[in-house]
Amino acid sequence: MMRFDDAAVRALARAEPGWFLDDRLAAFARFTALEWPDPSSEEWRYTDLKGFDLNNFAPPTEPLPLADNLDGVPEHVLAAMGDVWERDGLAIQIDGTVVHRRLADPLANKGVIFCDLATAAREHEDLLKDVIGTVGVPASEEKFATLASAFAAGGTFVYVPRGVDVTLPLHAFRWLETPGVLAAARTIIVAEESSSVTYIDHYASPDATTAISIGLVEIHARQAANISYLSVQDHGPDMYHFNIQRGEVRRDATLRSLAATLGGKVSRSVVESMLVEQGASAEMLGVYFADGDQHFDHRSLQEHSAPNTTSELLYKGALKGESRAVYSGLIHIAKDAQKADAVQTNRNLILSDHAKADSIPYLEIEANDVRCAHGASVGPVDDNQLFYLQSRGLDADEAEDLIVRGYFQEILDRVRVPEVRAALERAVEAELKA
């Protein structure tokens, strides 16, 4: 089995230009020089990886054939993907290999690009080289970010030219089914001035698979652009998933993000919005439902470095069994970011005696004319609400289920893709019945 070394990097890059191989090798050199995340540090204090051994895993090897249409995609993968609905683009990847890719012809004719990274490196070198790696990653996540950069397979490059609106979503379905494999997906999204796009990363795997999934996401919202990025993680119960997302938002642009965490054994999601020019705004939504012994770690940054910028974060989770959830978020307002407006809210609903959640909000404000607020809560279902519903004829379980549905609905109502919203509603129902 191929392991993590220079030869494995070169094998993955065999169909890519030399500059992209150099980028991979530089990332691998950085990866080998870094220590594993230290649980004594604040960033990794709640997620200890001491039982995690990379030597038990390997990068993907032989690619799968590309199917011209969905008839060439395995039926079990299509079944896992869910309902068929209208999209402007669809990419299906199995263990990091693109097996099907489609983009609506009218968009391709307008210059929209929706392809894997190897294709982008060969055919769109000028566009990709200008942006790849330029938004950076948090220092605490660099070990997994460099691993993903070195061993990325498949991945996605999205480019939307100036003034082009992508009306329907672009959807990447990432299916991971081979036990012991590492599938690292690198996503780069560029929306030029006054353009718009909605993009969905959907991660899933069978219940019996133990593997590693890494998502490394770089988003560039240029002046007055509008980007919606939705990440839905619905892996099997033995998966490790690490997702690192950073978006750079320029003048009068908007970045909306959703982090939905439903599966996996250990899942760590980092979402950062960098508001770098006046008028930039970000909406950051998160929803998670943990049970069994699942461990979910969510981290966020709302970075205001320019005046008249706005951000709103709302993360809500529910926990059953012996699961554990951690949320840590920072709002940073630089001294030149006057008139910044930032809100951060994290709520955790505890549905069993042995589940546990930690919520750690931070504020760092250097400007003196700002509006900034944060809130966090951890607790069980309200007894008064239960009593009221039971007094109207519901039994205790029915009353609790109704409260949990309503608790999540505040976020689900703000999900602008109806198919994703419906899928999340079904996921909540499934967790309640489990």
The answer, yes or no, to whether residue 207 has pLDDT greater than 50, is yes
pLDDT tens, residue by residue, 104-141? 999 999 999 999 999 999 999 999 999 999 999 999 99
The answer, yes or no, to whether residue 1 has pLDDT greater than 90, is no
Give dist(CA 210, CA 12) in Å, integer. 22
Looking at the structure, do residues 173 and 26 belong to the same domain, yes or no?
yes
In a domain, 313, yes or no: no
In a domain, 27, yes or no: yes
Burial 256-285 (b: 16+ CB within 10 A, else e): bbbbbbbbbbbbbbbbbbbbbbebbbbbbb
The partner residues of 113 in beta bridges, in order of sequence, read 159
The answer, yes or no, to whether residue 356 has pLDDT greater than 80, is yes
Looking at the structure, do residues 20 and 147 belong to the same domain, yes or no?
yes
How would you class 75 by CB atoms within 10 Å of its CB: exposed for 0-12, middle for 13-18, buried for 19 or more?
exposed
Q: What's the pLDDT score for residue 39?
A: 87
Give dist(CA 73, CA 427) in Å, integer. 24
- Best mean pLDDT range from 42-51, 332-341, 397-406: 332-341
In a domain, 317, yes or no: no
The three-state DSSP-derived secondary structure of the chain is CCCCCHHHHHHHCCCCCHHHHHHHHHHHHHHHHCCCCCCCCCCCCCCCCCCCCHHHCECCCCCCCCECCHHHCCHHHHHHHCCCCCCCEEEEEECCEEEEEEECHHHHHCCCEEECHHHHHHHCHHHHHHHCCCCCCCHHHHHHHHHHHHHECCCEEEEECCCCECCCCEEEEEECCCCCEEEEEEEEEEECCCCEEEEEEEEECCCCCCCEEEEEEEEEECCCCEEEEEEEEECCCCCEEEEEEEEEECCCCEEEEEEEECCCCEEEEEEEEEECCCCCEEEEEEEEEECCCCEEEEEEEEEECCCCCEEEEEEEEEECCCCEEEEEEEEEECCCCCCCEEEEEEEEEECCCCCEEEEEEEEEECCCCCEEEEEEEEEECCHHHHHHHHHCCCCHHHHHHHHHHHHHHHHHCCCCCHHHHHHHHHHHHHHHHC
User: Mean pLDDT, the chain, as a whole number?
Assistant: 94
In a domain, 186, yes or no: yes
Looking at the structure, do residues 24 and 161 belong to the same domain, yes or no?
yes
In a domain, 156, yes or no: yes
Tally of residues, the chain: 434
Average the pLDDT over 377-390 and give the result: 89
In a domain, 261, yes or no: yes
Answer yes or no: are the C-beta atoms of 173 and 204 closer than 8 Å: yes
User: Which single residue is written with the structure tokens 């019996």?
Assistant: 208
pLDDT tens, residue by residue, 237-283? 999 999 999 999 999 999 999 999 999 999 999 999 999 999 999 99
Answer yes or no: are the C-beta atoms of 305 and 334 closer than 8 Å: yes
Q: Which of 9, 13, 94, 2 is nearest to 55 (CA)?
A: 2
Type of residue numbered 143: K
Grade residue 62 by pLDDT with cuts at 50, 70 and 90.
low
Looking at the structure, do residues 255 and 109 belong to the same domain, yes or no?
yes
Answer yes or no: are the C-beta atoms of 323 and 296 closer than 8 Å: yes
Instruction: Give the domain-ending residue among 254, 277, 300.
Output: 277
Q: Which of 216, 171, 215, 186 is nearest to 78 (CA)?
A: 171
pLDDT tens, residue by residue, 73-88? 999 999 999 887 899 9
- The number of distinct structural domains making up the chain is 2
How would you class 392 by CB atoms within 10 Å of its CB: exposed for 0-12, middle for 13-18, buried for 19 or more?
exposed
Give dist(CA 238, CA 365) in Å, integer. 40
In a domain, 348, yes or no: no
Instruction: Give the domain-ending residue among 247, 277, 307.
Output: 277
Q: What's the pLDDT score for residue 69?
A: 86
Instruction: Give the domain-ending residue among 239, 260, 277.
Output: 277
In a domain, 68, yes or no: yes
Q: What's the pLDDT score for residue 2?
A: 52
Grade residue 15 by pLDDT with cuts at 50, 70 and 90.
confident
Reported pTM: 0.96
pLDDT tens, residue by residue, 322-354? 999 999 999 999 999 999 999 999 999 999 999
Residue 82's Cβ-side half-sphere holds a number of Cα atoms within 13 Å equal to 19
Give dist(CA 121, CA 20) in Å, integer. 7
Lowest mean pLDDT segment, chosen from 194-198, 336-340, 399-403: 399-403
Percent of the chain with pLDDT over 70: 99
Residues of the domain holding 417: 392-434
The answer, yes or no, to whether residue 393 has pLDDT greater than 70, is yes
